[in-house]
Chain A
Amino acid sequence: MTTDTTEPAAREKDASPGAEQPQGATRSERLTSLAQQHGALVALLVMVLVASLSFDSFLTGDNLENMAVSSAFLAVVALGMTFVIITGGIDLSVGYVFALGGVLAAWGSQYGTLVALILPLAVCGLIGLVNGLLIARARLAPFIVTLAAMLLARGVLLSVTDEGSTTYLVDKDAFFARLGQEKLLGIGLPVWITVALFGLGALVLRRSRFGQYVYAVGGNEDAAALMGAPVARTKIAVYTLSGLCAGLAGALNAAWLMSGVTILGTGMELEAISAVVIGGTLLTGGFGFISGSLVGVLLLKVIQNVINQIGSLDSAYQQVVSGAFLALVVIAQTWLGRRRRML
């Protein structure tokens, strides 16, 4: 998987004397961009190292597989979120859209695997589409539109489950259940699906024209419009994509749990945003990469695992840590951003 989007600034091939660039700025530029691109990876490696030295149970196959599967669902949500944040937007609806996707999949599984997959994708994609239309065409603020969509998703979720009193179960013999249960080379299918989706996502973001538009819209919307980028369509597409990702993650989660649990997904939007931002994507838009989000998700999950391993600590510490992490990363980004403007 490719890591960078803006090409390593370290490529020396054309640093000819005639190049019109402030040479002094290059080194610090390079350092900050390195920190931004690989800071989360370094933190992850350090965490893993410390954890495996401290807890014998950390580096066991079971624990790793467990972490991988539980990361998978958040990772798929974060994948969609990465696209949204690179355009300079935000999607606060994904938590409940994720839960809705799970419930719809569990309910739909009684009519076959196809329904179990298509129904959540259609409904969640539609919610994302409406988000996108309101944001791109009616020009409403993303945070408020997606907050409202969160409420809408929750309302639909409650009404589907008789106000939360019904839990739909997935028949364990159904093909759909196997999507969540089956293992390939000892690793759960959801993990493989997630890896495939990330590969595809990275390819789209990096190598497709749509991906270029995503960066351009987030980097400078007016300039992007002047350069002929379809700004509104790009925004509509990313919010739809985010809805689809959240719905799919919910469906996979239902297949794994073999039921549609209504209370899942609360606060997931915050986890997803944290993961994306910790992974190096700028909340102000225009810069970011898919692999960083994956690293961010893994970092959050390893922290969670470590907190669980300590045992005496409550799992809520994870939220404190990720909130603090988020705040630190945002402060760093703001400072770096300001320095850049001074250059």
Chain B
Amino acid sequence: MTAAPDAPGQPPPAQGTPALAVTSLTKSFPGALALDEVDFEARAGEVHALIGENGAGKSTLIKVLTGVYQADAGRVRFLGDEVRFGTPLEAQDAGISTIYQEVNLVPLMSVARNLFLGREPRNRFGLIDFRAMHLAADEALRDLGVRVDVTRPLRTLGVGAQQMVALARAVSVDARVVIMDEPTSSLEPREVATLFGVIRMLRDRGIAVIYVSHRLEELYEICDSVTVLRDGRVVHTGRIADLDRLRLVSLMLGREMGQVREEGLTKFSGDHAAAGEPVLQAEELTLSHMLHAVSVEVRPGEVVGLGGLLGSGRSETAKAIAGALPPESGRVLVAGSEVRTGSTPAAIRAGISLLPEDRKAEGIVPGLSVRENIALAALPGLSRFGLVDESRIDRIVDTFMERLRIKASSPHQKVGELSGGNQQKVLLARWLAMQPKVLLLDEPTRGIDVGAKAEVQKLIDELAEDGLGVLLISSDMEELVEGSDRVVVLKDGAVTAELTGDQVTEDLLMQAIAAPLPADAGDGAGTPPGPRKEAGDD
């Protein structure tokens, strides 16, 4: 009953030998190729960064490695043997442990019980020997340099300590490979330091650590090698020290520095004549762990881009403006008058409309028809005495289906059955029917096919020309640069740069994103703790 990996089972593999290797791994979902011939290798005794933007395929890869998904083709070799895991449990029993961002333990049970669930030491009557269990749990955690009262319910511990318990469990079940999915996203700097200490210890014991994060600083601090995924393919793999920040960002985003680019790849026409007083002013929005005094302004007819990597606070900014997340401080003004924060209906009444990033879970109502989805938000205005005015709805639905070129077999088709692009257009129609003043578009073209993408981009352009203020969030650099008149760059929940006019180029944007944080970040109290992962990671 010891936490050390050299307990029963095989001896730890020699440093540097492949612990987990996949070759030509392919996995597709209906309508999308998530992994395309991916080769990946994590070696014993190294920390391997796995990075990529949303939809790059890293989540899918992890899920295949841990038995959640089954690959369509390709091979997985674990400690030299070919394996195929049918369930997460099989993978875990074999020695691949995963530490999720949302800690996957039982919060109401004590630390020790969590550590030993299913492996509790028992006395000769078959009853659990709590004394032995507590001692062993204490030892296992001390081993990782963590001191907590193991008899306390897990949930009373901080997130960092909970993660340590998850790690201790992983190690004590004899893990050879530990996969960590954004482990630091809700940790305080001090906890991050402890975690890194433990990761180094694991590495020294010959365990392969696969580390997923979007924080560049962390990657360079803790990782030995890196694999970059983009659009389901491996675009780079090698030692992380050989790769500078800018190069890493450009690999992730798929844009080359100084690349000669043909103009007009997107359907954006270019600059809009933005004029007049700002239609949207967000001032000093602060949200614990997520946003730190973020301010953004949008004028009528202007498209303002929100740049930054995944997890930088882009979606949170949009949600805070739209009333879906209640900010602790800060104000939101529309056309000069203040809007009550933390209330979606208030924001909508003021003329703010949000197209959420997670279209399927937060946007569409999948079981209702196209017609009802379009009319949903505007219903009170389309009703008299609580009765729905069907003919007015028909008129509006017809107008928007035509104007936005929504392709459905009829207005009565369920939205859940439409393609992603058409779903997005239905959502746009829902908000345009409200005649908003400000549109917040969070990844409006993600996961929709090329043709529909161009159409949506063109629509955004037209809307801005009609005088709407648009806030555009996109991981697609090209879309962001060509679509926006101005780009505000976020990093770890704070505005770090703003590009205007001629500065709005991919090169400058990438440099702004890759720039290290100001020196004071990462130590001492009162520094911005990192933001949480954005909702709906692929």
Residue among A6, A11, A16 with most chain B CB within 10 A? A6
Q: What class of interface size applies to chain B in its complex with A?
A: 35 or more
Interface flag for B240 (CB, 8 Å): no
When the two chains form the complex, which single residue of A16, A219, A228 contacts B109, counting CB atoms closer than 8 Å?
A: A219
* CB of A22 to closest CB in B, whole Å: 6
Given contacts A15-B149, A208-B126, contact A219 B106 (CB under 8 A): yes
Decide yes or no whether A168 CB sits under 8 A from chain B. Answer: no
Q: A20-B160, A21-B152, A21-B161 are in contact. Are A212 and B104 (CB under 8 A)?
A: no
Measured CA separation A224–B104 after assembly (Å): 8
Given contacts A20-B157, A228-B89, contact A215 B113 (CB under 8 A): yes
User: Does A340 lie at the interface of the complex (its beta carbon under 8 Å from any beta carbon of B)?
Assistant: yes
Can you name the residue of chain B whose Cβ is closest to the Cβ of A26?
B156
Complex contact A227–B117 (CB within 8 A): yes
Q: For window 210-235 of chain A, which residues contact chain B by CB distance below 8 Å? A: 212-213, 215-216, 219-220, 222-229
Q: Are B158 and A215 in contact (CB under 8 A)?
A: no
Tell me, rounded to whole Å, the shortest Cβ–Cβ distance linking A341 to chain B.
9
Cβ–Cβ contact B127 & A212, under 8 A: no
Contacting pair A6 B109 (CB below 8 A): yes
Bitwise, A287-316 to B at CB < 8 A (1) or not (0) is 100000000000000000000000000000
Whether a CB of chain A sits under 8 angstroms from the CB of B92 is yes
Binary CB contact string for chain A from 229 to 244 against chain B (1 if under 8 A, 0 otherwise) = 1000000000000000
Q: Is B284 an interface residue (CB 8 A)?
A: no
Which B residues, 106 to 150, have Cβ-Cβ distances below 8 Å to chain A? 106-110, 113, 117-118, 120, 122, 126-128, 130, 138, 146-150
Report whether A18 and B156 are in contact in the complex, using a CB–CB cutoff of 8 Å: no
**Residue of A whose beta carbon sits closest to that of B161:** A20
How far apart are A230's CB and chain B's nearest CB, in angstroms?
A: 9
**Residues on A with beta carbons closer than 8 Å to the beta carbon of B127:** 203, 207-208
The 8 A CB mask of B91-106 against A (1 = contact, 0 = none) is 0110000000000111
- Decide: B107 and A220 in contact? CB cutoff 8 A: yes
Q: Using a Cβ–Cβ cut-off of 8 Å, how many residues does chain A contribute to the interface with B?
A: 42
Q: Is the CB of A227 within 8 A of B146?
A: no
Judge whether B156 and A215 touch: CB under 8 Å: no
CA distance A225 to B158 in the complex (A): 24
The A247-277 residues at the B interface (CB cut-off 8 A) are: none
With A26-B156, A203-B127, A209-B118 already in contact, the answer to whether A20 and B108 are too (CB < 8 A) is no
CB under 8 Å from chain A, chain B span 310-348: none
Contact pick for A286, options B89, B104, B106, B151, CB 8 Å: B106
A227 and B104 alpha carbons, distance in the complex (Å) = 9
- A141 touches B (CB below 8 Å): no
Does B436 make an interface contact (CB < 8 A)? no
> Which residues from chain B contact A228 at a C-beta distance below 8 Å?
89, 92-93, 117-118
Q: Does A173 contact B (CB under 8 A)?
A: no
* Cβ–Cβ < 8 Å partners of B161 in chain A: 19-21
Q: Which residue of B lies closest to A223 (CB)?
A: B104
Residues of chain B contacted by A15 (CB below 8 angstroms): 149
Chain B nearest Cβ from A137, distance in angstroms = 16
**Does B534 belong to the interface (CB within 8 Å)?**
no
How far apart are the CA atoms of A282 and B109 in the complex, in Å? 13
- Asked whether B157 lies within 8 Å of A215 as measured between CB atoms, the reply is no
Bound CA–CA A233/B149 (angstroms): 31
Is there a chain B Cβ closer than 8 Å to A13's Cβ? yes
Smallest beta-carbon distance A102→chain B, Å: 34
> Shortest CB–CB separation between residue A13 and chain B, in angstroms?
7
Contact of A18 among B106, B138, B147, B151 (CB under 8 A): B147
Residues of B within 8 A of A227 (CB): 105-106, 117-118, 169
Indicate if B191 sits at the interface (CB-CB under 8 A).
Answer: yes
Complex contacts, A56 vs chain B, CB 8 Å? none
User: In the complex, which residues of chain B have a beta carbon less than 8 angstroms from the beta carbon of A13?
Assistant: 149
Give the residue of B104, B109, B126, B147 whose beta carbon is less than 8 angstroms from that of A215: B109
- B215 sits at the interface (CB 8 A): no
Closest to B116 in A: A212
Q: Are A343 and B155 in contact (CB under 8 A)?
A: yes
**Which of B89, B104, B169, B191 sits near A20, CB closer than 8 Å?**
B191
A162 contacts chain B at the CB level, 8 A cutoff: no
Cβ–Cβ contact B122 & A19, under 8 A: no
Within 8 Å CB of A207, what residues of B? Answer: 127-128, 130
Chain A proximity of B159: nearest CB distance (Å): 9
Q: Is A21 a contact of B156 with CB atoms below 8 Å? A: yes
Q: Which listed residue, B93, B109, B148, B155, touches A19 by the CB 8 Å rule?
A: B148
Q: Chain B residues with Cβ under 8 A from A286's Cβ?
A: 106-109
Q: Which residues of B contact A26 (CB under 8 A)?
A: 156
Complex Cα distance, B113 from A227, in Å, reads: 11
User: In whole angstroms, how far apart are the Cα atoms of A25 and B108 in the complex?
Assistant: 15
Interface string of A1-40 (1 = CB under 8 A from B): 0000011110101111011111001100100010000000
Whether a CB of chain A sits under 8 angstroms from the CB of B254 is no
Residues of A in contact with B (beta carbons under 8 Å apart): 6-9, 11, 13-16, 18-22, 25-26, 29, 33, 203, 206-209, 212-213, 215-216, 219-220, 222-229, 282, 286-287, 340, 343
Query: 7 closest Cβ contacts across the A-B interface?
Result: A219-B106, A7-B151, A20-B161, A14-B149, A207-B127, A286-B108, A223-B104
**B positions within 8 Å CB-CB of A:** 88-89, 92-93, 104-110, 113, 117-118, 120, 122, 126-128, 130, 138, 146-153, 155-158, 160-161, 164, 169, 191, 194
Besides A212-B117, A219-B106, A227-B169, 12 other CB < 8 A contacts? Answer: A6-B109, A13-B149, A19-B148, A20-B146, A20-B160, A20-B194, A21-B148, A25-B156, A220-B104, A224-B117, A287-B108, A343-B156
**A/B interface sample: 7 pairs, CB < 8 A:** A19-B147, A20-B160, A21-B158, A209-B118, A213-B118, A220-B104, A229-B117
